[in-house]
Structure 1
Amino acid sequence: MAQSLVRLCAKEVVSDHSSSPSWLRWVPRELYRALLEAAFACRRPLAVGELVQRWPERTLRVGGRRKPGQAAPNRLCIQALLLAIVKGLSDQRSALQVLDICGLQGDEGGVGDPMGGWSLTVALCTMVVQARAGAQRTQRIEGDRERKRFSALESERDLKRERGQRKGGKELHGDREKTVPPGPASEEEQIKGIRRRMEMERKRVNAETGLGGSKREIEEKEANCDALVHVRADLFVNARSWERVRVALGTSGPLKLQCRYLRVEEISVASIRTLLNLLPCRGLLGIDVRYSSLGVAGLAELLPLLSAFPELNSLRLHYCNLDIRRDHLGQEEVLRDLSQGLAQLKELRRLSLTALRLPGQLRLLLSSLPQPLEIMELPYLSLSPADLAYLSCSHHASTLQQLDISENRLDKDTLPSIRRLLSQASSSLQHLSLSGCGLTDALLGHLLPSLGGCWALKSLAFALNPLSMAGLLDLVRTAARMPSLRHLLYPNPLEDYQPGLPDLPSSAQLLDWPLNEATDVNMTSSQLNRVLIESGCSELFLTCDLLNYDKDLLE
């Protein structure tokens, strides 16, 4: 009740911006977080800006995992946040040192006008460059003041020296010179002493903090020492934003840009390599490469660079034009290079390979990983029976939490491997996708016992499989008995399609073939929900909406 009252009061306070000068100076630091959340929720960018500009804590986190039904922050509020960060650099009331906006981005064009990943990345880079330009202007102004002050000190020192020489001449009496007691050290000697102490202190700090190692690590630590605020974010880079991101990452100034997850699209291997060389070694958790023509040789070139990031645990490659065939000259050597590159990723836990055409190569690639994977996504990979047989017996099977082998054709020869794999992963597997695998009623009947044994499974995607209504009912009955299952993406039964489908339609045919208008699709949904009611299962969510399934999937 107290927390709800605080939120209600905070919304009322930020609703009137004209009164903010009268109350903001008296707000305790413990209430800043509640006021900022209220400002974002009520879309009050002016209040967001004033709160952030004088943020009283060292760390500010905005973003992260959103609660179900919670919309992404408004674009204007995010822009006000970034502008306030720059203004706060010169505000003595701000104590901010770390800004964490990982996960802040929303879907472009979503409800409430959120800021997408690409737009947010461009805005961040612009903020970093503007902060550096502002700092340079301030340094020039302070430099002019310091030069004037130094000139005045020089003039005063010359005048004192001249007076001292005249006074020393008067101290000579007869043939004997009077002994003048030693005075305080000269200004030059004091400066030298200060420099010497600073150098000794720097060596001591370097010894305590371990400043050393590679040249890149030394440069990173020196750049971090100059930064006033470290900005941690997820970056989305494509050909249009690559140059701006490169400049921002290479900029040393009051804002230091750090990256948690890097997503790149449609850029060359050389550009990706440049970005990786500019990123700090610490903090990068994942890299996602999409629609870039890496080729096998390009991937073999990038993998050794990824080993420089000790915390990297996620690697995703989608539609990167990889086609490995043993009959091509030199492919064996390239495969060995790929295997050795993956072996250097000591902390890798997630590997996603989409449409890379790697039939028969799964053992060579995955067996080199030093640690078992927890998330494995292998859609459109043309997996062979040998690939699935290896996967079911590999050291990854018993640790898998998410598995996606959709759009890989399964038949009676590969079904034993799938059943063995599900048995090995029964206690750990939480999310499974078997969409578009060509599973008929007969194949499903052999698979259901193993599927029902996955007691930890929370979501199951089964779309675009050629099942009849009878097979679909068997699937739902099995799902209703699974204790942890909360989401089931089921296929439209064959009876709901217009006549003319082949006996064993492919997933592409099921996706494009029109549904029968005479058949009420809602009747299928009602019949399936009736099965859930009869089974006493009220927490399982059923949907056939393939396009919005990922949005519905909430952990």
Structure 2
Amino acid sequence: MVLSLLSLCAKEVVSDHSSSPLWLRWVPRELYGPLLEASFAGCRPLAVSELVHKWPERRLRVGGRRKRGQPPPSRLCVQALLLAVVRGLSDQRCALRVLDLCGLQVEEGPMVDSMGGWSLTVALCTMIVQASAGAHRRDGERKRFSALHRDKNVKRERGQQKKAREASDDNEVVMSCIDGGPSREVLEEDYMVQGVRRRMEMARTLIDEPSSITYREENDICVQLQVRADIFVNARSWERVCVALSTPGPLKLQCRYLRVEEISVSSIRTLLDLLPREGLLGIDVRYSNLGVTGLAQLLPMLAAFPDLKSLRLHYCNLDLRRDQPGQQEALGDLSQGLAQLQQLRRLSLTALRLPGQLRVLLSSLPQPLEVLELPYLSLSPADLAYLSCSHHSSSIQQLDLSENRLDVNTLPSVRRLLSQASGTLCHLSLSGCGLNDDLLGLLLPSLGCCLSLKSLALALNPLSMAGLQEAVRTAARMPSLRQLLYPNPLEDYQPGLPERPSSAQLLDWPLDESIDVSITGSRLNKVLQDCGRADILLTCDLLNYDKDLVD
């Protein structure tokens, strides 16, 4: 990654923290952004703290999508940022009003020093509670000071009233001796005029003085800073998140994507009641024992979030293969709940085991889906037949059918689906679908028609070297394809594999140590070069495969 001249200069400036008091006061507001980026890149938490504490803009975004090769911010820098935000609440020079941390957390990869979703959520909630406690403490101190100030003014007024009464009595004695002098009513009117002036002066003082109770109480009622972030909640952090969402104070937490793990339906409902309705784009529920009935109870609550576009359910125990009473009624409620999600564009259902029920679920959605992920779903031929003819087929941009076993009976539906989605489909995963050379050969013409396809995953399929080479030749004829995840050919495994091994057998079966795996990659890349394509990334690394790298 080549750094620009501005980035190089910013890196040099923030490298010496001892000189920051000299240059920070002269830095124009346009350079705060490059300096903060350099501070994060160089792991300079003290520089991060000072820049955020004096941030001149109303909005600050840290996070988002990183460039290739760009490391995430370190834990120390993130902690310094949060502490500086709290300190800036009491500094009128800080103009920050919106802090956007969406996408800051790191969930995968070997980044030991970075901050994950759970840690970032706990740190954010702690910051919000501490800011609220500090605001109440400062408010109590201001109220005590204001009470003393008010008592002092009251005593001053009482003294002035006493002097006015004494002067009034003396004037009555004098005026009684002088014929035609002013009466007592005239003196009382003069005193009332002086009292009105005094009260106007006190009101002006309460407006002008920053320590006044009127000014400060108004600021305490209003939210000073909006904090937008992706929230990760499990059983250990649930209570802290609920406290942060329900605690009034100068910081208000807004959620963009909510991810919950291993918590009950009632806990999820409590959390949804506390979340702000605006701005929530997606909900990800994982490893929670929802069941069909529990999910049917949650879906009407999701309809209250107008911006919700993504719903992901992973390993939530929605097993309909068991003959249980009331399942069909609950499935109908589930369909009605999905029908209320007007803006839903992404639906991910992992290992829910709903064979033969795809029509009931997807047909109720009011808008066509753009992302549909159905791994480990035990799809039946009827499910794939419906999907190929549904109103979603012509709008799908990302499709995941991995670990759904395909055969000669389901292949016509898959080919029809690819034909319908050929103009929009950008990412396709067919990993672990049991595709051998013959099945893949029947599927390759339909794949070749997907002119918008950018990434294709074929891992854990029982393909020979000849089948892989034919797949690479087809990929070379696809103009938009940039990444292909291929399986190890059957020739690279030790002897003893079944005739048509499953994905689990291919994953566990040892490779032949006498064969150099890199030779397979070299042979496939040679096929690409012969076809005039050197811009396609070929990889068999299933763990580090990332389809988003091509976007």
Question: Taking structure 1 as the reference length, what is the TM-score of the superposition?
Answer: 0.90
Secondary structure of the 1:398 match is coil
* C-alpha contact (below 8 Å) 1:346/1:371 kept by paired residues: yes
Counterpart of 2:332 in 1: which secondary structure?
A: helix
CA distance in structure 1 between the aligned counterparts of 2:542 and 2:380, rounded to whole angstroms: 26
> What pairs with 1:2-401 in structure 2 (closer than 5 Å)?
4-107=4-107, 110-111=110-111, 113-166=113-166, 179-180=185-186, 181=189, 183-184=192-193, 226-325=222-321, 327-401=323-397
Report if aligned partners of 2:427, 2:547 keep a CA contact under 8 Å in 1.
no
Query: Does the alignment pair 1:430 with 2:420?
Result: no
Q: Tell me the residue number matched to 2:212.
A: none
CA contact (8 A) 1:432 1:457 kept: yes
Over residues 492-548 of structure 1, what are the superposed CA-to-partner deviations in whole Å (9 max), with x where a residue is unaligned?
Answer: 111111111111111111111111122222221111111001000010111111111
Are 2:135 and 2:220, in contact at CA under 8 Å, matched by a contact in 1?
A: no
Query: What SS is found at the alignment partner of 1:125?
Result: helix
Separation (CA, whole Å) in 1 of partners of 2:324 and 2:194: 79
Unaligned stretches of 5+ residues in structure 1:
199-221
- The farther-off stretch of 322-331 and 437-446 is 322-331
1:512 is aligned to 2:508: yes
Residue in 1 aligned with 2:539? 543
| 1:94 counterpart letter in structure 2 | C
CA distance in 2, matches of 1:358, 1:143: 61
| Structure 2 counterpart of 1:478 | 474
Once residues 529 and 383 of structure 1 are traced to their aligned partners in structure 2, the CA distance between those partners, rounded to angstroms, is 34
Q: 2:489 aligns with which of 486, 493, 496?
A: 493
> Deviation digits for residues 90-135 of structure 1, max 9, x if unmatched?
1222100000011111247734611111111111111111111111
Q: Distance in 1 between matches of 2:347 and 2:160?
A: 73
Is the Cα contact below 8 Å between 2:455 and 2:547 reproduced in 1? no
Query: Displacement of 1:177 after TM fit?
Result: 5.5
Q: How many residues align?
A: 527
Report the AA paired with residue 388 of structure 1. L
Please tell me whether Structure 1 or Structure 2 has the larger radius of gyration of its CA atoms. Answer: 2
Asked whether the 8 Å contact 1:171–1:177 carries over to 2, the reply is: no
Match of residue 527 from structure 2 = 531
Q: Is the 8 A contact 1:223 1:252 kept in 2?
A: no
* 1:379 partner SS: coil
Q: Distance in 1 between matches of 2:219 and 2:273?
A: 15
1:76 to partner: Cα distance:
0.8
Per-residue Cα deviation, 1:309-357 (whole angstroms, up to 9, x for no partner): 1001000000011112484211121111111111111111100000001
Larger displacement relative to structure 2 (180-189 or 236-245): 180-189
Native 8 Å contact 1:349 1:371 kept in 2: yes
Q: Secondary structure at the match of 1:488?
A: strand
Deviates more, 1:19-28 or 1:544-553: 544-553
**1-side partners of 2:259 and 2:244: how far apart?**
16
Match of 1:216 in 2: none
* 3-state SS of paired residue (2:4): helix
CA distance in 2 between counterparts of 1:410 and 1:472 reads: 18
Unaligned runs of 5+ in 2: 208-217
The equivalent of 2:210 in structure 1 is: none
Structure 1 CA distance for aligned equivalents of residues 529 and 108 of structure 2: 38
CA contact (8 A) 2:242 2:274 kept: yes
SS in 2 for 1:399: coil
Q: Quote the Cα distance in structure 1 between the aligned partners of 2:171 and 2:546.
A: 93
CA displacement at 1:491 relative to structure 2: 1.1
Cα separation, partners in 2 of 1:112 and 1:549, compared to 1, 3 Å: same
State which drifts further: 127-136 or 50-59.
Answer: 127-136
For 1:240 and 1:326, the matched residues in 2 are separated by 32
**C-alpha displacement at 1:433, in angstroms?**
0.3
Secondary structure of 1:235 counterpart: strand
Structure 1 equivalent of residue 215 of structure 2: none
Percent of paired sites with the same residue: 69
1:179/1:237 CA distance change after superposition, 3 Å:
same
| Structure 1 residue matching 2:546: 3-state secondary structure | helix
**Contact between 1:285 and 1:311, CA under 8 Å: does it hold in 2?**
yes
Q: Which residue of 1 aligns with 2:211?
A: none
